[in-house]
């Protein structure tokens, strides 16, 4: 399995958020109250954050994104706060120019 490049920066302070999905599915029949059941055995997380990257880091990201994880189709291992997660890219990254060759990449990773 691919591993997120260690030379890419950590999320910018104040930009990281974690959403924990409850994994519950509601099924409403024709009669009676809706039934609820678990979709998964554990609650999966969605991570959203921003990385500020130099030009060299952008090149590393581009290689990882395009080649290693095939534009987000392949899951990979990502370390966050001392825990390794198996994740996939939630959506295409959003890129914003900061100054010169410095850019902010808004990313979303979904635990799989």
Segment 46-73, tens digit of pLDDT: 999 999 999 999 999 999 999 999 999 9
Using 50, 70 and 90 to split pLDDT, how confident is the model at 80?
very high
83, 70 in Cβ contact below 8 A? Answer: no
Dihedral angle of Cα 54, 94, 60, 55, to the nearest 10 degrees: -20
d(CA 65, CA 61): 6
Q: What is the pTM of this model?
A: 0.85
d(CA 82, CA 97): 29
- Inform me whether the pLDDT recorded for 97 exceeds 80: yes
């Amino acid at each position: 399995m691919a591993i997120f490049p260690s030379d890419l920066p950590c999320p910018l302070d104040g930009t990281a958020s974690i959403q924990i999905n409850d994994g519950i599915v509601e099924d409403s029949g024709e009669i009676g109250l809706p039934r609820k059941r678990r979709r998964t055995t554990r609650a999966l997380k969605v991570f959203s954050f921003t990385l500020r990257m130099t030009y060299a880091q952008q090149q590393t990201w581009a290689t990882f994104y395009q080649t290693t994880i095939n534009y987000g189709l392949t899951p990979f291992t990502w370390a966050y706060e001392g825990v390794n997660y198996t994740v996939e890219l939630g959506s295409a990254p959003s890129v914003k120019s900061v100054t010169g060759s410095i850019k902010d990449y808004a990313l979303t990773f979904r635990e799989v």
